[in-house]
Amino acid sequence: MSRPMKDSHLVELCDADASVMNRDFKADFGKQRVADVWPMASYAAGVHPDEVPEMKKYDKEHGVPTEYNNDGDPIFTSRTHRKQYCEAHHLFDRSAGYNDPVPERCR
């Protein structure tokens, strides 16, 4: 059951066992903030599996050693690793947030 924020201070009891119910803000707003989960494979930055050896060499030369899964998707070990990889490959996040890769013209 949802209710307006102006009523968030009101205590509500559960019909089943009369326990106090807490408001679930995540359910009310439909978005859940998910903690960063690393390592993370990126389908969007993937390459053809045949290109993986060449890309690994390129990554190492540009100071961003990266592993790839069998589908050719790079596996990022942290947010910083993702940013460095994307910048080395001239990729960016169109809806970039804090510490996300951005187009060169925006740096």
Q: Are 71 and 44 in contact (CB under 8 A)?
A: no
- Region 40-52: what's the mean pLDDT? 93
Q: Where are the domains of the chain?
A: 40-106
Candidate from 10-19, 79-88, 89-98 with smallest mean pLDDT: 10-19
Q: What is the pTM of this model?
A: 0.62
Sign of the Cα pseudo-torsion (94, 97, 35, 20, in order): negative
